[in-house]
Amino acid sequence: MKTPPVDHYRLLGVTRAADAAEIKKAYRRLARKLHPDVNRRKDAAERMAEVNAAYQTLSNEDLKAQYDARLRQGIPEAPPPPTAAGEVGTRHRITVVDFPSPIYSLSLSPDGREFAAACFDNVVRFMSSRNGLLMGETVLPGGAINVVKHASRRTVVAGGVGERTARCWLIRDREVVEHKTKRTKWASHLDVSIRGNRVVLGSADGGISVINRGTGQEVYHRWLGGSPITAVSFSTDGRLIAVGSNDEQVTLFEASRGVEYSTLGPLGAQPVSLAFANDDSLLAAALADRTTRVYELRTGKTRRSLWGHEAPIEAIAFHPCGWILASVCRAGAILLWNALSGKLLTSLGGHSAPLKAVSFSRDGRTLAAGGLDRTVSIWEIEVGEASRH
């Protein structure tokens, strides 16, 4: 016998005719009452998680419509569907709402149990990806945060560029243990290696600098001919650096010494975000014309061109399997692609403003996306075997 879905309306104490304002008011009342900081009951965290799940469903028009349909039919919540080769199954787990400021970068912990959100107010917020509870906040003094990455379960590296300065922070157990500042002249883009030991800066005057995070000293500088840098990215293992430029090219460097590896292009538009597959076999370049080019690094040839976003793309990320690519855009859409075949696998909604960040956990089971609507959506992922068709 089918079990009917959980009654989110009952959990929030509202009727099914309640409007958005009533639902939000009921949620905030219960959040104040059940938050573990003020409620010492053993089941407070569990009840708060249920209330969070209810609000995240009922406050989103698309999710609410789907839920209301299931409620009328008595259909239970569906798990991610079984996945065939070349396919992906997804299930919305939670949407964390009402961040104090927009989100510009996200990183899921290796096991996907929590995430770090780098916000516009220069605070990294650590949240549970299971129930949306705040686990801690770390204020990063001195400038904007552009990138946040988990180096390990306990260690996070963050970096940012501002007017004439670049900064990098090492955070351990949600406390800043190291902060380095580098004077720069034209730095506009930044990335941090996954180990957190190197930082690459791209500048508006067409050069890149690689910095030793621990000492703050420049390891090397490379000049790319004067075309402004539009995107930079380390490969997952930190061996390569990809640099996108305004002349519609991507240049690859060997990261440790700065030896030029190859050049991809012309791409047909400026690259705005870059991502390597985990095994360095593929490089994806999101372009200003709303497309994404996927390149085979062994041959330098275009593997696929991905079309489908209705608004400019802001960020891309490869799933650890190496063939699923996530892209997010200014329309609030999350698209998942088969990067080998070029097939659009699914489109995930739930956001009402531009998305700025997308991240997979290293175990591949969780996806997070967030942006200017001050929310982060969490999705469960199930992946089939790779398919090239």
Please report whether residue 59 resides in a domain: yes
DSSP codes joined into one string, 282-306: EEEEEETTS-EEEEETTT--EEEEE
**In the predicted structure, residue 3 carries a pLDDT above the cut 50:** no
**pLDDT tens per residue across span 121-171:** 999 999 999 888 899 999 997 778 999 999 999 999 999 998 788 899 999
CB 142 within 8 A of CB 124: no
Question: How many domains does the chain fold into?
Answer: 2
What's the CATH code of the domain at 311? 2.130.10.10
**In the predicted structure, residue 364 carries a pLDDT above the cut 90:** yes
Residue 17: per-residue pLDDT: 77
Domain range for 13 is 8-73
When pLDDT is averaged across residues 211-231 and rounded to a whole number, the result is: 91
- Tell me, yes or no, whether 335 and 310 share the same domain: yes
- Tell me, yes or no, whether 129 and 262 share the same domain: yes
Q: Is the pLDDT higher at 143 or at 113?
A: 113
What's the CATH code of the domain at 56? 1.10.287.110
- Tell me, yes or no, whether 165 and 49 share the same domain: no
- Tell me, yes or no, whether 107 and 62 share the same domain: no
113-117, 159-163, 309-313, 326-330: range with lowest mean pLDDT: 159-163
How crowded is the C-beta side of 316, counted as CA atoms within 13 Å? 33
Please report whether residue 82 resides in a domain: no
- Tell me, yes or no, whether 69 and 94 share the same domain: no
Give the 3-state secondary structure of 227-240. Answer: CCEEEEEECCCCCE
Residue 225: per-residue pLDDT: 84
- Tell me, yes or no, whether 150 and 223 share the same domain: yes
Q: Which of these three, 50, 73, 96, is where a domain ends?
A: 73
Please report whether residue 221 resides in a domain: yes
139-148, 302-311, 363-372: range with lowest mean pLDDT: 139-148
Please report whether residue 81 resides in a domain: no
- Tell me, yes or no, whether 286 and 366 share the same domain: yes
**pLDDT tens per residue across span 161-195:** 987 888 999 999 999 999 888 888 788 899 999 88
How crowded is the C-beta side of 9, counted as CA atoms within 13 Å? 12
Beta-carbon contacts of 275 under 8 Å, excluding residues fewer than 6 positions away, are 233, 283, 284, 316, 317, 318, 325
Please report whether residue 80 resides in a domain: no
- The model's confidence at residue 260, banded by pLDDT at 50, 70 and 90, is very high
- Tell me, yes or no, whether 120 and 14 share the same domain: no
Residue 37: per-residue pLDDT: 64
User: What 3-state DSSP class applies to 183?
Assistant: strand
> Phi/psi at 34 (nearest 5 deg)?
-100, -10
When pLDDT is averaged across residues 200-212 and rounded to a whole number, the result is: 93
When pLDDT is averaged across residues 346-365 and rounded to a whole number, the result is: 92
Please report whether residue 364 resides in a domain: yes
**In the predicted structure, residue 4 carries a pLDDT above the cut 50:** no
**In the predicted structure, residue 271 carries a pLDDT above the cut 50:** yes
Angle at 272 between CA 267 and CA 273, to 5 degrees: 100
Average of per-residue pLDDT values in the chain: 88
**In the predicted structure, residue 79 carries a pLDDT above the cut 60:** no
Please report whether residue 161 resides in a domain: yes
Residue 14: per-residue pLDDT: 82
Residue 182: per-residue pLDDT: 85
Please report whether residue 379 resides in a domain: yes
The CA-based dihedral angle spanning residues 350, 317, 191, 255, taken in that order and rounded to the nearest 10 degrees: 180
Residue 63: per-residue pLDDT: 77
- Tell me, yes or no, whether 184 and 69 share the same domain: no
- Tell me, yes or no, whether 139 and 23 share the same domain: no
- Tell me, yes or no, whether 322 and 363 share the same domain: yes
Question: How crowded is residue 176: how many other Cβ atoms within 10 Å of its Cβ?
Answer: 16
- Tell me, yes or no, whether 356 and 307 share the same domain: yes
56-60, 83-87, 133-137, 185-189: range with lowest mean pLDDT: 83-87
Tokens of 182: 């580098």
27-41, 195-209, 321-335: range with lowest mean pLDDT: 27-41
